[in-house]
Structure 1
Amino acid sequence: MIAALYPDERKRPGYARLAKEIRETTGGTISGTYLWELATGKKRNVTLEQLDVLAEFFGVPPEYFLNEETAERVNSQLKLATALRDARVRNLALRAEGLSAESLDALLIMVNEARKVQHLASLDDQDDKAAPDGGQTETSGDAT
């Protein structure tokens, strides 16, 4: 969750500062030490009050912390939101709007190849092949 809110590790606040931001934003109190313990897995028990404070601060439903399916859905939305913060990513997405399914598939292949060259993790193809109408597009060759 912290990485999604602060994607640049160099600008990510420490746990004490994050606890202060949480207190200032939500009025709830969680210590920096407690945040560190949660983040490292040393603590797993969270009160409902703390859960609500964390959910409010991070802008997620409380179920995010309790339900894996909800967490996956929210994480996928956060990845998209984080990617769209980059003006070049937004520009690319906006310019691709209106292109044919074949052109979009060709662009996806190019992006996947660029990710391989830069040794970046491969992304899930399921989202890549979903057509705007909810159907599946046909691709020739392996896009991964």
Structure 2
Amino acid sequence: MDQGGQEGGSLAAKITHLITTLYPEGRPGYAKLAAQIRERTGATLSSTYLWELASGRKRNLTQETLGTLAGFFGVPAEYFLDDAVSSRVDAQLELAQALRNHKVRSIALRADGLSDDTLDALLAMVTEARKIERLGPPAEQPEDEPGA
């Protein structure tokens, strides 16, 4: 399938984002990534082809390649084709990445069962702390959060 102009850049950005998310300590080389894809999915994608996709130089994906990438990264194939799906999945990936930090996980678990007023106060404190540390808001703010 031909992803074409703007969408090709979007495809490259999505692939790069998934690689960065899967490897927060640093992206492996494309040869190692190709080997890991082969080990995990049984499909063979060359390191050059992966680089071309991630850099936006290639925009043509077969259904098979789409399925291979989706399977390797653990996302639905629609992630690469539908911005609404990729936004939803990215929010889930961001949450999963945050929960890898045991302190974040501990705060979330301890907050369970607190009243809505107390949760709102905690949320306001965390929002202020993020401003103080110049972190900005999380990528996606749920609609039921104050200020949404």
With the length of structure 2 as denominator, give the TM-score of the two structures.
0.80
Gap change, CA 1:124 and 1:59, over 3 Å in 2: closer
1:7 shift after superposition:
2.0
Change (3 A) 1:114 1:128: farther
1:63-90 CA-to-partner distances (Å, cap 9, x unmatched) read 1111111111111111111111111111
- Percent of aligned pairs with the same amino acid: 56
Alignment partner for residue 106 of structure 2, among 56, 70, 91?
Answer: 91
Counterpart position of 1:29? 44
Report whether the alignment pairs 1:100 with 2:109.
no
Contact 1:96–1:104 (Cα < 8 Å) also in 2: yes
Matching residue within 15, 29, 43 for 2:58: 43
Which position in structure 2 is the counterpart of 1:111? 126
Task: Decide whether the 8 Å contact of 1:15 with 1:32 is kept in 2.
Answer: yes
RMSD: 1.9
Partner in structure 2 of residue 4 of structure 1? 21
1:127–1:73 CA distance, 2 compared to 1 (3 A)? same
Structure 2 portions without partners, runs of 5+:
1-17
Q: Would the alpha carbon gap of residues 86 and 49 (structure 1) be closer, same or farther in structure 2, given more than 3 Å must change?
A: same
How far is 1:123 from its partner?
2.5
3-state DSSP class of the match of 1:46? coil
Match of 2:76 in 1: 61
Q: Which runs of 5+ in 1 are unaligned?
A: 131-138
Give the whole-Å Cα distance in 2 for the aligned partners of 1:28 and 1:125: 33
Question: Greater relative contact order: 1 or 2 (C-alpha under 8 angstroms, separation 6 or more)?
Answer: 2
Partner of 1:134: none
2:67 pairs, out of 47, 52, 56, with: 52
Q: Secondary structure at the match of 1:105?
A: helix
Corresponding position of 1:76 = 91
- Give the CA deviation at 1:121: 2.6
Following TM superposition, the consecutive aligned residue runs of length 4 or more in structure 1 with deviations greater than 6 angstroms are none
Partner of 1:19: 34
The aligned length equals 131
Q: Is the 8 A contact 2:130 2:136 kept in 1?
A: yes
